[in-house]
Structure 1
Amino acid sequence: MWRSLLSLRQASQRTISTASRRPLENRVPEKQKLFQEDNGLPVYLKGGIMDGLLYRFTMGLTVFGKAHTETFML
């Protein structure tokens, strides 16, 4: 019984294979160029379509929440 517990403990302590790690590409310079470009957009919209959608969704929730709160305050 102790042998099976010891072998289980040793197997659980082994690391998963690290031979297949891929080197990550450094994309920071690309992002810096994108965000430093002077194209008239505010920084919170320079990330693309998803930033625009998230901004509009947030503004919609804010307006809806404000209108909803004011109806209960009257």
Structure 2
Amino acid sequence: MKVTMNVECTPEEARAFFGLPDVQPMQEHLMREMQERLSANLKAMDPDTMVRTWLPTAVKGFEQWQDMLASQMSPARTK
């Protein structure tokens, strides 16, 4: 025997029926706080500071890539 039951309800109604907490106010509060922090950080960081922050990592990665290529090429030169 197979029984199928269709229930039409909103997500809020389903949460209330199963006794789950309503976390929407908490999510809205956290999203507002994250937006405020992100905006404050972006305003505080000018393009010059961003380049100085990111450039050393990019240069170091490029230098490592050059070293790797040089180490791969040096055995070929000696042969």
Ranked by relative contact order (alpha carbons within 8 Å, sequence separation 6 or more), the top structure is: 1
TM-score scaled by length of structure 1 = 0.42
TM-score normalised by the chain length of structure 2: 0.41
- Which structure's residues are more often helix, by fraction? 2
